[in-house]
Amino acid sequence: MGRISFSHIKNCMEQNTWPSLEEWVESEEELNRKITELYESDLSAEEQALEILSYLLERYNLPQTPLEIEDREWEDTGDSWYLPISMFEQIAQLKFVEPENNDPRYLVLNAAYLIHHKLVIDLSQELGDFLGEDELQGLGYRGEDILEAELIPVKKGESWFDKGCTFFTKEMA
């Protein structure tokens, strides 16, 4: 399974007070069992990802799409701030910052981990490489399926709708 660099994780805490992805999975007996069961199955990687997605959405009450977020306001998590995000958006962001980590099981599990622990991916380096800092209008998201989610940086003056995006946000962590 892939691994996201913690340099991409942004949280203002001095020390990590959250478990690593591996520690989280190991500490959640039912989740660990489900992952093991799926990995040992004859299902394709995509089918395994969709199965674990269904489990994670229900078990941790995670929003699958941006429309499922009732209150998109910044939350004070104690030592940092967190903007609620959906699994669709989080998967797109993971693919944007680390396109080589494209195993759908990794994307789903890591997205759930980040949302569950209210951790934010720092997109600033990749966005700066993609376009100038002053040129960014917001983030567009497109894709017919959650595993095909794609983050599209939208420049000022561009239309997110014309880029095929189904969701757009100006708020960025």
Assigned domain for 8 exists = no
Whether 6 is covered by a domain: the verdict is no
**In-domain check, residue 151:** yes
User: 């399974």: which residue's tokens?
Assistant: 1
Q: Is the pLDDT of residue 5 over 80?
A: no
Residues 110 and 3: their CA atoms lie apart, in Å, by 8
Expressed as residue numbers, the domain containing 125 is 18-169
**Geometric angle at alpha carbon 43, from 42 and 46, rounded to 5°:** 150
Closest CA to 1 of 96, 116, 98: 98
Closest to 119 measured CA to CA, from 19, 39, 49? 19
pLDDT band for position 42 (50/70/90)?
very high
| Residue 24 counted as domain residue | yes
Tokens linked to 73: 């306001």
pLDDT of 4 > 60? The answer is no
Residues in the chain: 173
Beta pairing class for 81-82 and 9-10? unpaired
The pTM score is: 0.85
* Residue 112, domain member (yes or no): yes
Residue 129 lies in a domain: yes
Number of domains in the chain: 1
Is-contact 168 141, C-beta < 8 A?
A: yes
**How confident is the model over 7-39, as pLDDT tens digits?**
444 443 344 578 889 999 999 999 999 999 999
Residue 106 lies in a domain: yes
Asked whether residue 26 is assigned to any structural domain, the reply reads yes
